[in-house]
Amino acid sequence: MPRESVPGDLLPQDATAVIGGRLGRRAAGRQRSPRRLVPVILAMVGVPMAAAVLRQGHCVARGWSGDEQFWRGCFSDLPAQYQLAGLDSGLTGWLTSGREPTQMPLVSGLMALLGGFVPSEAGWLEATRWYFAMWAVLLAVCAVVGVWCVARIRPERLDLATQLALSPVYVVAALLSADLVVVVLVLGAVLAHSRRRSTTAGVLLGLGLTGHAWVGIVLVALLVSARRPGDGAAALRTAAIALGTAAAIGILLLLVAPEVVTGPLMSWWAESAGYGSVLRIPALVGHPLPAWVSPATALLGWLVAIVGSILMARRAWRPASWAQVAAFAVPVVAMTGTAVPVQAALWVLPLAILAGVTWRTHLGFVAVEAVHAGALWVYIGGTSDPDVGLPGEWYAVVVLGRAIAWCFLLWSVWYTPVDNPSARPQAPFAPESRPQEPVRA
């Protein structure tokens, strides 16, 4: 049976030297056991998450308002939505206000739920700080749970969990939105499915479907990757439970507050090319595309992602896992969407790490994401002060460079060796009937 190639250390050789070097040859085997290493890896998540909170320092002190939040690079959609969407009324207001949220029901409902816990006597700035602090704690817990899921899914490759724990992507995108909650639901579904718990996997995936549309292609990847004997029935059962869970939640919300379900769909269909999308490049240089091009391209992107997933699953010399197929399909859907926000890196990178991409690919991808995030904030700030902002033409160059980086990530996922252990048929061993001749000296 083929075995996975297990790196000697959790970190690259150069980084390992910083924390004391390689583990000695005479060290006890339990020093490398997951029980000993996983708690250390989970604690590592605090490093990038603390940096993400510090990055919001100016806005925590002065508030998330005006163009200053863009110049300081501390914009976050969470406090912005609290200020603009009336989330202080809590879950009751979310169901009865009649507003049409732009986020999917799980995300908008969770944002409203936390908004109801903000002290009512707090002032504007203090209330926003309370709301941001609650989200910072929740997202930090989600980051820890996501790393734990990766460690449980690939216990022989704990270096992958270390990659996710120390990823700079948290600094760039973790506190911008609630998308990390949806990412953790997907990772939890992958873990449950790997443990043959179809019901749990289906429920988690169904909740994810109510949180973000890209989870749908993850569901397709599950069905495409089910090529081993016995996997097809489990995949169909998981998919059926996921669709049933999402449908049940959707029908219930349609009866109680239909605008919560229809609002995001209508907003998506009417949306033109947004920030981060290559379809916005013509508008940045003065030649905008018709409004229908963006949703049409998004639908075409889903078709391309499905076909690409099938080709990837068939061309792999060993059956590709669910996470490996999803790591290829999700970036395709994201790149062809109506907008590719900064937090889209959170959708893609955990699955790519789970698929086995290297530290070099990982850090290069995040570096490009950091450049794009900085350029985007300066470009948005420049709309009110063109003299100091980034011109649209230069932002178009950054968007194009980012698209090239995403294509390189796709190439890396496609050509990363599929190290998913799987038995290969072998010819039966038949010992020779005649005795061997003695070896003469």
Residues 60-93 have pLDDT tens digits of 999 888 888 999 989 999 998 888 877 888 888 8
The percent of residues in the chain predicted with pLDDT above 70, rounded, is 85
- In whole angstroms, what is the distance from residue 137 CA to residue 181 CA? 12
Contact 147, 165 (CB under 8 A): yes
First to last CA, the chain: 37
User: Using CA atoms, how far apart are residues 81 and 178, in angstroms rounded to an integer?
Assistant: 11
Is 240 or 291 the better-scoring residue by pLDDT?
A: 240
Percentage of residues in the chain with pLDDT exceeding 90?
57
Q: What is d(CA 398, CA 383) in angstroms, rounded to the nearest whole number?
A: 17
C-alpha span between 80 and 111 (Å, rounded): 11
DSSP 187: H
Question: Which region among 10-24, 45-59, 94-108, 380-394 has the lowest average model confidence (pLDDT)?
Answer: 10-24
Pick the residue with more confidence: 36 or 38?
Answer: 38
Task: Report how far Cα 431 is from the mean position of its chain's Cα atoms.
Answer: 52
| Exposure class string for 329-362: b at 16+ Cβ within 10 A, else e | bbbbbbbbbbbbbbbbbbbbbbbbbbbbbebebb
Residue pair 72/380 in contact by the 8 Å Cβ criterion = no
- Name the residue with tokens 């289906």: 202
- Cβ(34)–Cβ(151) below 8 Å: yes
Residue (of 77, 163, 136, 171) closest to 370 by Cα position = 171
Tell whether the model's pLDDT for residue 15 goes beyond 90.
Answer: no
Q: Report the C-alpha gap between 150 and 167 in whole angstroms.
A: 13
CA distance 131 to 252: 27
Give me the pLDDT at residue 270, please.
Answer: 77
pLDDT (average), residues 394-417: 91
Both structure tokens of 248: 């049940």
Residue pair 276/340 in contact by the 8 Å Cβ criterion: yes
Q: Are 118 and 151 in contact (CB under 8 A)?
A: no
- Measured distance CA(435)–CA(316) in Å, rounded: 42
Tokens of 4: 């996975």
| 5: confidence class by pLDDT, cuts 50, 70, 90 | very low
Over the Cα atoms of the chain, what is R_g? 24
Give pLDDT, residue 2: 38
Segment 351-370 shows an average pLDDT of 93
Mean pLDDT, rounded, of the chain: 85
**What pLDDT score was predicted for residue 428?**
45
Q: For residue 159, what are its two tokens?
A: 């270096």
For residues 216-235, average pLDDT: 85
- Written as six digits, the tokens of 382 are 């420049």
Query: What angle do helix axes 105-115 and 179-194 make, rounded to 10 degrees?
Result: 120
